[in-house]
Chain A
Amino acid sequence: GNSVTQMEGPVTLSEEAFLTINCTYTATGYPSLFWYVQYPGEGLQLLLKATKADDKGSNKGFEATYRKETTSFHLEKGSVQVSDSAVYFCALSDTGVQGAQKLVFGQGTRLTINP
């Protein structure tokens, strides 16, 4: 079945450092890809998405490009801030019964940014 593998954490960086969180997927067909972020005590929030190969999703300085040839969707940010500290989840959409858009998640990567 479809699956997502993402970089294990935790990841600790200094403020203004460059961030990469790796994500690769296994899927039949052409799923949409997502990055979600979870701040402490809150639910998951959609950070960015890409719906087809070579699409680039971007939001709040974060970017990820849908790479079909390497089945990857790595998350990057050029200069992280303390407020970016959170858990990041890579996910793909998997169409189920009657069009149900089930999300398949990676295990999450905890990111801590030190001042």
Chain B
Amino acid sequence: AQSVTQLDSHVSVSEGTPVLLRCNYSSSYSPSLFWYVQHPNKGLQLLLKYTSAATLVKGINGFEAEFKKSETSFHLTKPSAHMSDAAEYFCVVTRYGNKLVFGAGTILRVKS
């Protein structure tokens, strides 16, 4: 069985400061991991993916995530938050992409 735990339901940062959204996963197999973003009234958009290649993954809009097998973590970071980053972020685990298992989501608030 696979599962994902997003450690914070809400994160608030000031514009221009770093973003850290935390995700721990559980998987019986070598997982593929994704981060998706959902803006209000918009569809889910893929930010980045890890599929057993490089452990540091770069995504769109300056986001990146590091796969740490020893810690079973896949935290999402961005050096400098922008107002447009305010959204809900989902950490996702899958095996072979047959079905995605989503975390409960982290709502990111960016203060001006």
Q: Do A and B come from one complex?
A: no
